[in-house]
């Protein structure tokens, strides 16, 4: 099997490793009720009263129709001068039904407003930029960034704003991407690799690069981000569509049941008003989840964006909540990506102090993470510090791909460090022998998943430096966390199977794919999907694009190639592959929030039922001298009158939507647990709560209505 192309950080310029993966870090969080967002949402809520908008939501459209009919009945009563409690009652029902529709629109507008606020911030990053366009004859002219087209070549020097999205075709530079990601640390962008993509609006802060433009005006990454965070491209997900069908079905059932009560009441001699029937229908249909469903989906995309992840659709966020398998690249995701010196293993007859001394000498000019770690290990474990070499008599030997060695020549000492076979060949070429123990030690390190580096002093082998690919802190705990959620983790690496097995065991992943080629990744994803599982993976290279497109959740790194970003359905602006774990948790939280509020919505209809039904049939089978019939005994909350009971239930139905907006936006508290546990928790907390909570509040509203003379006491 061939070795996979390494998509880790470029070896030419080390990049700061991702933050500690032990916990997520919000970067774009904003207050739940930000005053500018609330002001905008209030206006949008009134605009959403348009029946053409309401018709898209069957449940709220029924409430809208009920509000309209109640308003007509109230106006008729006023015009016919009926007056009295009945007219006031109809007017109050109509008012609170309009509030119900308005509050549902406000919940959706608040969720949309958070996205629009992010879009406004992104628009501020777009400035009128001049670009140094390279002409066909090599001449440079200053042109406006808006005139650039796909295929144009521009020069970006220190301090220049990159005018549009593109690919670095020449040079290497540090780029400040804080305008896009919010992260202050610069990143390296260079030609010929998986870190060649640059984003318009970012700033070059060192060196210079030549960039080929890859997007026409209006098609740049920022333009796409603005459109997405505003929700213009948000489509209903399959789960959301299924839930809409369920609540629409419940609405139809309750509509039919309510309609039949009118002839039943007339037959029994009970005069049931149209207003009370409308109130009963609105209180029985799942208006709470109907009003909050859209807000929950929009808020899910917003929470992903708070983690600097751009979701191309709500479907991607929802799919993340159903993921069964995670494919994670080893280098830079599970491990730090930079091998660290862990131990000095001398040959027989060589002291470890001598080996450490030679290893440190050979690494003093080595600025790679591996070289620096060797110097630190020798200093910390063997007290070797304060080494000063005379520049005039010292010759440092740089590492090259041809020699696969580096080292130093000082008077009387020639130290070499490098790949085991390269050092063996070097020693033998100078007429010296190599003990068999050297290869035995190297083989043992390889079996443990490490990398051996041999050290020789004056053509005499001294021993081996054990380099270890360090697993990030907290990864085993995080994989245990995922396992508790029922998610299988698979590590993908280009390492040989022995090395891969050692790292997989240390990290605690469930399985691994060694020496993985692009077609191997695709085959693995298809195999898992064929068995009915949903698969998520991260990637940043062109060779990852097919697998990203095949995966149910494909998270492309913003630092990666354009092909990878177009293939995935999410883009991580921080280019931190471990973010996939947070994305899965957000997706599960979205599904749990939707399930919890659906359970609550259906359950609290029970309390409203016991408030309205006794009121409707209070005069059924009434005896002489009685004010209420025997069915009024169902009024165990001791509500004062039929008027106050119905009105209190309608008011509670409206106010509960406002009360649950924070839950819809923030999501229910998430804890890893299986599906059966989630169901039990929903029934115990949200189901039982949905039944019990309305009773005291409806009773309290009834008391307030009577106290304020908004409803008769009898």
DSSP sequence for 239-281: HHHHHHHHHHHHHHHHHHHHHHHHHHHHHHT----HHHHHHHH
535 plus 550 within the same structural domain: yes
Are the C-beta atoms of 156 and 211 separated by less than 8 Å?
yes
206 plus 244 within the same structural domain: no
Q: What share of the chain is helix, strand, coil (3-state, %, to 5)?
A: 50, 15, 35
Residue 220 lies in a domain: no
Q: Closest by alpha carbon to 576, among 54, 69, 9, 5?
A: 9
pLDDT on residue 60: 92
Confirm whether residue 71 is marked as ligand binding: no
Residue 661 lies in a domain: yes
Last residue within a domain, chosen from 215, 240, 256: 215
Tally of domains within the chain: 4
Residue 416 lies in a domain: yes
Which secondary structure element, helix H or strand E, spans residue 616, and what is its range? helix 605-616
Q: How many residues does the chain have?
A: 714
DSSP sequence for 332-360: TTTEEEEEEEEEEEEPTT--HHHHHHHHH
Pairing of strands 488-492, 325-329: parallel
Residue 365 lies in a domain: yes
391-415 pLDDT, tens per residue? 778 888 887 767 788 888 988 888 9
515: region left, alpha or beta (phi > 0 left; psi from -120 to 50 alpha): left
Confirm whether residue 403 is marked as ligand binding: yes
Confirm whether residue 67 is marked as ligand binding: no
Residues 6 or more apart from 393 whose CB is under 8 A from it? 410, 411
Phi, psi of 325, rounded to the nearest 5 degrees: -135, 135
Q: Which residue has the tokens 């039990």?
A: 680
| Residue 612 DSSP SS3 | helix
Residues 6 or more apart from 229 whose CB is under 8 A from it? 115, 116, 118, 119, 122, 301, 302, 305, 310
Total Cβ atoms within 10 A of residue 380: 10
343 plus 453 within the same structural domain: yes
617 plus 598 within the same structural domain: yes
403 plus 461 within the same structural domain: yes
Q: Closest by alpha carbon to 410, among 397, 420, 419, 400?
A: 397
- 661: β partners: none
pLDDT on residue 295: 85
632 plus 498 within the same structural domain: no
Burial of 315 (0-12, 13-18, 19+ CB in 10 A): buried
Biggest CA–CA distance in the chain, Å, is 124
pLDDT on residue 430: 86
Confirm whether residue 404 is marked as ligand binding: yes
DSSP sequence for 180-243: HH---S-EEEESSSTT-EE-TT-EEEEEEEEEEE---TT-SHHHHHHHHHTTTT----HHHHHH
Angstrom distances, CA of residue 634 to CA of 134, 516, 640: 84, 69, 13
Confirm whether residue 544 is marked as ligand binding: yes
Confirm whether residue 378 is marked as ligand binding: no
Confirm whether residue 406 is marked as ligand binding: yes
What is the rounded average pLDDT for all residues in the chain? Answer: 80
345 plus 425 within the same structural domain: yes
Are the C-beta atoms of 210 and 169 separated by less than 8 Å?
yes
Residue 390 lies in a domain: yes
Q: What totals of helices (H) and strands (E) does the chain contain, helices first?
A: 26, 20
**Predicted model pTM:** 0.66
pLDDT on residue 100: 94
342 plus 195 within the same structural domain: no
Q: Closest by alpha carbon to 693, among 593, 617, 597, 590?
A: 597
Are the C-beta atoms of 607 and 698 separated by less than 8 Å?
yes
pLDDT on residue 461: 92
Q: Which residue has the tokens 């008011």?
A: 651
Residue 310 lies in a domain: no
CA 318 to chain centre: 10
Confirm whether residue 370 is marked as ligand binding: yes
Last residue within a domain, chosen from 573, 596, 630: 573
pLDDT on residue 203: 85
Confirm whether residue 603 is marked as ligand binding: no
485 plus 545 within the same structural domain: yes
Angstrom distances, CA of residue 636 to CA of 277, 300, 307, 611, 631: 21, 40, 49, 9, 11
Helix axis angle, 475-484 to 579-603, nearest 10°: 30
What residue numbers bound the domain in which 693 lies? 35-117+231-303+585-708
Structure tokens at 314: 């709500």
Distance between CA atoms of 708 and 331, rounded to whole angstroms? 68
Which CATH number characterizes residue 489's domain?
A: 3.40.50.1000
Last residue within a domain, chosen from 444, 470, 496: 470
Residue 580 lies in a domain: no
Which CATH number characterizes residue 395's domain?
A: 3.40.1110.10
Distance between CA atoms of 570 and 12, rounded to whole angstroms? 28
575: region left, alpha or beta (phi > 0 left; psi from -120 to 50 alpha): left
CA angle 694, 696, 699 (to 5 degrees): 100
Total Cβ atoms within 10 A of residue 353: 15
Residues 6 or more apart from 340 whose CB is under 8 A from it? 369, 370, 373, 467, 468, 469, 470
478 plus 531 within the same structural domain: yes
Confirm whether residue 207 is marked as ligand binding: no
355 plus 396 within the same structural domain: yes
Q: For this structure, is 480 an active site residue?
A: no
Phi, psi of 28, rounded to the nearest 5 degrees: -125, 25
Residue 223 lies in a domain: no
Confirm whether residue 405 is marked as ligand binding: yes
109 plus 255 within the same structural domain: yes
Are the C-beta atoms of 409 and 365 separated by less than 8 Å?
no
Residues 6 or more apart from 316 whose CB is under 8 A from it? 553, 569, 570
Distance between CA atoms of 688 and 247, rounded to whole angstroms? 20
Angstrom distances, CA of residue 669 to CA of 63, 94, 224, 263, 604: 30, 36, 31, 46, 21
Phi, psi of 6, rounded to the nearest 5 degrees: -80, 120
Q: Closest by alpha carbon to 455, among 382, 502, 405?
A: 405
347: region left, alpha or beta (phi > 0 left; psi from -120 to 50 alpha): beta
Q: What is the mean pLDDT of each run of 10 residues along the chain (714 residues)?
A: 31 32 44 77 90 89 94 88 77 94 90 69 62 85 85 90 87 77 67 77 85 82 63 59 85 89 78 86 90 84 80 79 84 71 90 90 79 86 73 81 82 88 90 89 82 90 87 81 83 79 86 83 89 85 79 82 78 76 85 90 84 72 58 76 86 93 86 76 88 90 85 61
Which CATH number characterizes residue 156's domain?
A: 2.70.150.10
Phi, psi of 2, rounded to the nearest 5 degrees: -80, 160
Distance between CA atoms of 550 and 535, rounded to whole angstroms? 9
Are the C-beta atoms of 289 and 595 separated by less than 8 Å?
no
42-96 pLDDT, tens per residue? 888 999 999 998 988 889 999 999 999 999 999 988 888 666 778 888 999 999 9
Confirm whether residue 76 is marked as ligand binding: no
Confirm whether residue 540 is marked as ligand binding: yes
Distance between CA atoms of 302 and 204, rounded to whole angstroms? 29
Structure tokens at 545: 């694009």
The active-site residue out of 77, 165, 223, 329 is 329
Q: Which residue has the tokens 């195999």?
A: 527
Phi, psi of 211, rounded to the nearest 5 degrees: -120, 135
| Residue 138 DSSP SS3 | coil
Phi, psi of 414, rounded to the nearest 5 degrees: -125, 110
Q: Is the Cα dihedral 145, 151, 152, 155 positive or negative?
A: positive
């Amino acid at each position: 099997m061939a070795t996979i192309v390494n998509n880790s950080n470029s070896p030419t310029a080390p990049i700061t490793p991702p933050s500690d993966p032990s916990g997520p870090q919000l970067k774009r969080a904003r207050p739940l009720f930000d005053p500018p967002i609330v002001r905008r949402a209030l206006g949008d809520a009134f605009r959403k009263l348009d029946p053409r908008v309401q018709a898209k939501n069957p449940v709220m459209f029924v409430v809208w129709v009920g509000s309209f009919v109640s308003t007509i009945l109230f106006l008729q009563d006023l015009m016919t001068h009926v007056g009295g409690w009945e007219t006031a009652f109809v007017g109050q029902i109509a008012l609170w039904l309009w509030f119900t529709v308005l509050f549902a629109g406000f919940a959706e507008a608040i969720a949309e407003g958070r996205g629009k606020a992010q879009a406004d911030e992104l628009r501020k990053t777009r400035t009128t930029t001049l670009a140094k366009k390279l002409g066909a004859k090599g001449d440079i002219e200053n042109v406006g960034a808006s005139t650039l087209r796909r295929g144009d070549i521009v020069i970006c020097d220190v301090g220049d704003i990159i005018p549009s999205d593109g690919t670095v075709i020449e040079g290497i530079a540090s780029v400040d991407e804080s305008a896009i990601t919010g992260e202050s640390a610069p990143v390296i962008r260079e030609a010929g690799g998986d870190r060649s993509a640059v984003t318009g609006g970012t700033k070059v802060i060192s060196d210079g690069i030549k960039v080929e433009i890859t997007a026409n005006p209006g098609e740049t990454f920022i333009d796409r981000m603005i459109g997405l965070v505003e929700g213009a491209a948000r489509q209903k997900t399959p789960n959301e569509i299924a839930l809409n069908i369920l609540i629409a079905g419940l609405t139809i059932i309750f509509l039919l049941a309510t309609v039949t009560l009118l002839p039943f009441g007339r037959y029994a001699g009970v005069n049931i008003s149209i207003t009370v029937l409308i109130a009963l229908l609105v209180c029985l249909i799942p208006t709470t989840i109907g009003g909050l469903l859209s807000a929950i989906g929009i808020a899910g995309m917003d929470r992903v964006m708070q983690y600097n992840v751009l979701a191309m659709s709500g479907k991607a966020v929802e799919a993340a909540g159903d993921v069964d398998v995670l494919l994670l690249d080893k280098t830079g995701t599970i491990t730090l990506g930079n091998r660290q010196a862990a131990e000095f293993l001398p040959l027989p007859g060589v002291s470890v102090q001598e080996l450490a001394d030679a290893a440190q000498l050979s690494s003093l000019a080595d600025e790679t993470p591996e070289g620096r770690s060797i110097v630190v290990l020798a200093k910390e474990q063997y007290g070797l510090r304060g080494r000063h070499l005379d520049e005039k008599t010292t010759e440092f030997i740089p590492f090259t791909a041809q020699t696969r060695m580096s080292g130093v020549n000082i008077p009387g000492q020639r130290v070499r460090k490098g790949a085991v076979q390269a050092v063996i060949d070097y020693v033998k070429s100078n007429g010296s022998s190599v003990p068999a123990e050297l290869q035995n030690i190297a083989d043992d390190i390889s079996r443990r998943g490490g990398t051996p580096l041999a050290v020789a002093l004056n053509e005499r082998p001294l021993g081996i430096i054990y380099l270890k690919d360090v697993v990030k802190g907290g990864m085993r705990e995080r994989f245990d966390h995922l396992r508790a959620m029922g998610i299988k983790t698979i590590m993908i690496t280009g390492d040989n199977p022995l090395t891969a097995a050692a790292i997989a065991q240390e990290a605690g992943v469930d399985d691994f794919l060694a020496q993985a080629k692009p077609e191997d990744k695709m085959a693995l994803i298809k195999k898992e999907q064929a068995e009915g599982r949903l698969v998520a993976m991260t990637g940043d290279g062109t060779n990852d694009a097919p697998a990203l497109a095949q995966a149910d959740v494909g998270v492309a790194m913003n630092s990666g190639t354009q092909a990878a970003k177009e293939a995935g359905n999410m883009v991580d602006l921080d280019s931190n592959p471990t973010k996939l774990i947070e994305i899965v948790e957000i997706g599960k939280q979205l599904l749990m929030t939707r399930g919890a509020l659906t359970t609550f919505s259906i359950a609290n209809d029970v309390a409203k039922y016991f408030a309205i039904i006794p009121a409707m049939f209070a005069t059924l089978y009434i005896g002489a001298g009685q004010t209420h019939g025997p069915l009024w005994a169902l009024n165990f909350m001791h509500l004062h009158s039929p008027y106050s009971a119905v009105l209190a239930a309608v008011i509670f139905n409206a106010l509960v939507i406002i009360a649950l907006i924070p839950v819809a936006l923030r999501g229910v508290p998430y804890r890893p647990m299986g599906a059966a546990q989630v169901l039990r928790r929903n029934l115990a907390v949200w189901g039982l709560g949905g039944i019990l909570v309305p009773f005291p509040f409806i009773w309290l509203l009834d008391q307030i209505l009577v106290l304020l003379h908004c409803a008769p006491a009898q």
